[in-house]
Amino acid sequence: MRILVVEDEVKVASFIRRALEEESYAVDVCGDGAKGLDLAQAGCYDLIVLDLMLPGMPGLEVLKALRKEQIAAPVLILTARSELDQKVKGLDAGADDYLTKPFAIEELLARARALLRRGSGEAGGVLQVDDLALNPATREVTRSGKRIELTAKEYALLEYLMRNAGRVLTRPMIAEHVWDHDFDTFTNVIDVYVNYLRNKIDRGQARKLIQTVRGSGYTLKAE
């Protein structure tokens, strides 16, 4: 899952990035409204965390521009103002949720999970494909009730595959959503990680969930 954080306070942006990265999200940070809009338009983000007070272009304007261009990624606005007005304006302009500074890091992460869940259409909070289950809140992965230990990268890759279960995901798509921006050329790293995942999830199982689509990429689905 790739998240864009548009926040001009360097330290705030920095701890949000670290917190999200610890949850295995790929994070891009931008400290300027106009540049943030460019990034959001260019990349396909699963979530945008947007501060309202920004140099270059106010957050509210960025949000309106995004929605005008039919960019539907969920947007979580951050505001230092607790005034009702700001929240209402933000939500009306197309934001999906808001947080008032100072906020609890766990709340930010929980809201991020909730917004990502909304995007993938799953309701209960637990992603489920066949007997494979992934709980984004606890980061617990089980197959047939048996717990599977994953590294952060493996977890991020699996979450992305499960959120898009049934869809064919190309290597560039996977790179985009799971790895950082500076990645891109080493696409065989994806194959390596897919193999790690297969070893942990499909080895010894009758039904293989991760499948290679020749010439395109990978897909995760129940047969």
Partner 1 sequence: MPLRVRLTLWYGTALAVILIVFGSALYAVLARGFRDQVDRSLEETAAVAVRALEQHRVGPFLPFDDLAAEFPELAVLDKSFQIFSPAGKVTIQSPNLGRLDIPLSRTALETALSGRATFESARFRDGSSFRLLSAPIILDGALVNIIQVGTSLRPVEEMLQRLLLVLLVSLPAALAAALGGGWFLAGRALRPVESITLAARRIAAGDLTQRLTVAHSPDEIGRLSATFNDMIARLEASFRQVRQFSADASHELRTPLTVMKGETELALRRARPAEDYKLVLESNLEEIDRMVRIVDELLFLSRADLGEVRIESLPVRLDALVEDMQRQAAVLGQEQDVQVAVGAVASVTVQGDELRLRELLLNLVDNAVKYSRPGGKVELTLVRDGTTARLSVTDQGIGITAEAQTHIFDRFYRADEARAHAPKGTGLGLSICKWIVEAHHGRIEVQSTVGQGSKFTVALPIMS
- Neighbour tally for 104: CB within 10 Å: 9
**Rounded least distance, CB 223 to partner 1, Å:** 38
What is the side-by-side order of every strand in the sheet holding 210-213?
169-170, 217-220, 210-213
Helix-helix angle 59-68:33-42, to 10 degrees: 20
Q: Does 208 bind partner 1 (CB under 8 A)?
A: no
User: Which residue blocks in 4-151 are alpha helix, DSSP H?
Assistant: 10-22, 33-42, 59-68, 84-92, 105-120
Q: Which C-beta is closer to partner 1: that of 80 or that of 192?
A: 80
Q: Which of 38, 41, 44, 55 binds partner 1 (CB under 8 A)?
A: 55
Q: Which of 35, 43, 53, 67 binds partner 1 (CB under 8 A)?
A: 53
Q: Which C-beta is closer to partner 1: that of 106 or that of 223?
A: 106
Q: Contact region for partner 1 (CB under 8 A) — 14-22, 62-70, 88-96, 126-134?
A: 14-22
Ranges assigned E (strand) in 111-172? 127-129, 132-135, 140-143, 146-148, 169-170
Q: Does 10 bind partner 1 (CB under 8 A)?
A: yes
Site for partner 1 in 19-48 (CB under 8 A): 19, 22, 31
